[in-house]
Amino acid sequence: MTSIYPLATSTWGPEELKALKQVIASGNYTMGDRVKTYEKQFSEHFGVNYAVMSNSGSSANLLALSAIRYSSFKPSPGKDEVIVPAVSWSTTYYPVAQLGFKLKFVDVDLDTLNASVQNIGEAIGPRTAGILAVNLLGNPSQLREIRSLADENSIFMIEDNCESMGAIYEGKFAGTFGDIGTFSSFFSHHISTMEGGMSVTNSLELAQVMTSQRAHGWTRELPEENFIHKKSGEDFEDLFRFVLPGYNLRPLELEGALGIEQIKKLGRIVAGRRANAERFTELMKEFPDFKIQRELGQSSWFGFSLILENSDKGDRTELVSRMRQRGIAVRPIVAGNFARNPVMKHLPHVDLPSLHNADKIHDCGLFIGNHHYEMKEEFDLLRDTLEGFTES
């Protein structure tokens, strides 16, 4: 069934199609000048020194953890635990394990859906290497306070901002508080480059490590003087010298070209989403049996979460079925309590604490889409659907 109220829609216009055609006409599809231009524009937009594009937000997270591991930011021996919120996407967690760290889960706040400063602070111990803060569904975490915790304890902070491009906390863009922040431009996100991710930092060393590791761990894209390995000046050697354990996470020129056009629209896209959020928040006052996400700072409202609080009014399975029947696309709140997934047997982690709120989200939560355009018909459908559910 085609969704009347879809989860995601395109933000492309004729500008993006023209940009794609120009790349095709050039015959140069792999990472090149357009990617570099987009990186520069992205860093300028968000007020950071460096931006390194990759082929996905998941890859941006992998680069971020890997850069920490292979730089002067690496934790001292014996520090191997990374604090993570219990509710996030899978590739928030995988790079932690893949880079030799252990996951240390903390519960999230049921209102904001993010890990609180209190929970993070209580989890810091002698083996803590860093904090991986996540801004869920467009909503900033308590980023300045988390940054202070990291600084006070001399540990790293990475910010997974893949769902929250354009969000603001205390006058500063989310994704720019950590040593590294990550973004996604997958189709369903705020801007779309088809697939695509970005890792931002104010550290030249971290930017150079990520640049090297993005493409095989070689020195090709590095300047002659760099933090990793001095070049010889001989292209025959410098183009094929491998100095770090790397990957192939390069984006395409097509994606860079799309990014150049999409970043121009980000302000309008976020404004449209925030206007819809005001209407959604007002609408949901009619349905007190549902808890919705409480905005912290200025959310960019990736989507709208609903947590069914009163089981006497039915259960989530019934609500999901009703929504789908009515043409409303619906998903779990990201991955629910990720610690309940079978993949955990493959991921090194410390003993799990009580994750009561994450369990509530896992069992009783769902989220629906938000868009950059006015959603009157979609909200009318949602109201009618929820009225039918609560009255049944």
Residue 77 near residue 63, CB atoms below 8 Å: no
Same domain, 77 and 174: yes
Same domain, 247 and 279: no
Q: Write the DSSP symbol of residue 215.
A: B
Residue 125 near residue 378, CB atoms below 8 Å: no
d(CA 307, CA 362): 9
Look at residue 7 and tell me if it is in a domain: no
Residue 207, phi then psi, degrees to nearest 5: -65, -40
d(CA 266, CA 192): 10
Same domain, 255 and 275: no
Q: Is the Cα dihedral 323, 328, 334, 335 positive or negative?
A: positive
Amino acid at 148: S
Nearest one of 314, 305, 317, 310 to 280, comparing CA atoms: 305
Residue 357 near residue 300, CB atoms below 8 Å: no
Residue 371 near residue 276, CB atoms below 8 Å: yes
Quote the domain boundaries for residue 345: 268-391
Cβ-based burial of 45 (10 A; exposed 0-12, middle 13-18, buried ≥19): middle
Owner of token pair 């996100």:
189
pLDDT at 325 (0 to 100): 96
189 counts as catalytic: yes
Residue 51 near residue 183, CB atoms below 8 Å: no
Same domain, 89 and 157: yes
Same domain, 284 and 313: yes
Owner of token pair 């761990």:
217
d(CA 338, CA 113): 13
Look at residue 211 and tell me if it is in a domain: yes
pLDDT at 261 (0 to 100): 98
What is the tens place of the pLDDT at every residue in 307-352?
Answer: 998 765 568 999 999 999 999 999 999 999 999 999 999 999 999 9
Owner of token pair 């971020």:
64
Look at residue 358 and tell me if it is in a domain: yes
Q: Write the DSSP symbol of residue 259.
A: H
Which segments of 58-116 are extended strands (E)?
A: 81-85, 102-106
Give the orientation angle of helix 253-283 with respect to helix 33-46, to 10 degrees.
30
Task: Single out the residue in 261, 276, 305 at which a domain terminates.
Answer: 261
Same domain, 129 and 198: yes
Look at residue 6 and tell me if it is in a domain: no
Same domain, 295 and 250: no
d(CA 276, CA 254): 31
Report the run of H or E that residue 138 belongs to, with start and end.
Answer: none
Question: How do strand 303-308 and strand 365-369 relate by DSSP bridges?
Answer: antiparallel
- Reduce the DSSP state of residue 53 to 3 states and report it: strand
d(CA 85, CA 114): 7
Task: Single out the residue in 261, 283, 304 at which a domain terminates.
Answer: 261
Same domain, 223 and 97: yes
Same domain, 344 and 206: no
Mapping DSSP onto H, E and C, the string for 288-327 reads: CCEECCCCCCECCCCEEEEEECCHHHCCHHHHHHHHHHHC
Which segments of the chain are extended strands (E)?
A: 50-54, 81-85, 102-106, 128-134, 156-160, 168-169, 172-173, 180-184, 197-201, 290-291, 303-308, 365-369
Task: Single out the residue in 261, 293, 325 at which a domain terminates.
Answer: 261
- Within 10 angstroms of residue 156's Cβ, the number of other Cβ atoms is 24
Q: Of the residues 189, 190, 371, 372, which is catalytic?
A: 189
Same domain, 86 and 214: yes
Q: What is the CATH number of the domain that holds 363?
A: 3.90.1150.10
Amino acid at 106: V
Q: Write the DSSP symbol of residue 153.
A: T
Look at residue 5 and tell me if it is in a domain: no
Residues 6 or more apart in contact with residue 345 via CB below 8 angstroms: none
- Reduce the DSSP state of residue 372 to 3 states and report it: coil
pLDDT at 311 (0 to 100): 61
pLDDT at 309 (0 to 100): 87
Q: Tokens in use for 71? A: 């730089």
pLDDT at 312 (0 to 100): 58
Cβ-based burial of 194 (10 A; exposed 0-12, middle 13-18, buried ≥19): middle
Query: Domain count of the chain?
Result: 2
In order of 31, 35, 252, 364, 367, the CA distances from 23 in angstroms are 11, 11, 10, 46, 36
Same domain, 287 and 248: no
Residue 383 near residue 343, CB atoms below 8 Å: no
d(CA 10, CA 218): 36
pLDDT at 391 (0 to 100): 75
Look at residue 1 and tell me if it is in a domain: no
Q: What is the CATH number of the domain that holds 200?
A: 3.40.640.10
> Each residue's pLDDT tens digit in the chain (392 positions)?
568 999 999 999 999 999 999 999 999 999 999 999 999 999 999 999 999 999 999 999 999 999 999 999 999 999 999 999 999 999 999 999 999 999 999 999 999 999 999 999 999 999 999 999 999 999 999 999 999 999 999 999 999 999 999 999 999 999 999 999 999 999 999 999 999 999 999 999 999 999 999 999 999 999 999 999 999 999 999 999 999 999 999 999 999 999 999 999 999 999 999 999 999 999 999 999 999 999 999 999 999 999 998 765 568 999 999 999 999 999 999 999 999 999 999 999 999 999 999 999 999 999 999 999 999 999 999 999 999 887 76
Q: What is the pTM of this model?
A: 0.97
